[in-house]
Amino acid sequence: MSDDLIFNGPAEFDIQVFVTNDETKQSGRATIRLGPFEYPSKESVKQRIAEFEAEEMVDALAGFRLMTKEEAWALIMREKTGMTFAMIGSKEWDDI
């Protein structure tokens, strides 16, 4: 077996990112695969989201963009409570 392979545990990791289309007003989630067995680091998650935005959204999700912090907060609040609430804190994403 190669020394390059990492097996942290018996799990496969995916993340969901929130996307929206300004023109159609559609919004939703896109699943990004991080891969099996290796626990993701903060940096690898950040890098994978940037890669997804720069390369994969162009084809599969043409017209969509990643949601802002306010948009993602509003979506989560609607899903969990059926209402929207003002977001506390800055409008910028916190650094990973």
Domain boundaries, the chain: 12-81
pLDDT, one tens digit per residue, over 66-81 is 999 999 999 999 999 9
pLDDT, one tens digit per residue, over 14-66 is 999 999 999 999 999 999 999 999 999 999 999 999 999 999 998 889 999 99
CA distances to 24, 45, 59, 72 from 56, in Å: 19, 15, 6, 20
pLDDT at residue 1 greater than cutoff 60: no
* Paired residues of 23 in beta bridges: none
Predicted TM-score of the model (pTM): 0.84
> What's the 3-state SS for 51-75?
HHHHHHHHHHCCCCEECCHHHHHHH
In this structure, which amino acid lies at residue 16?
Answer: Q
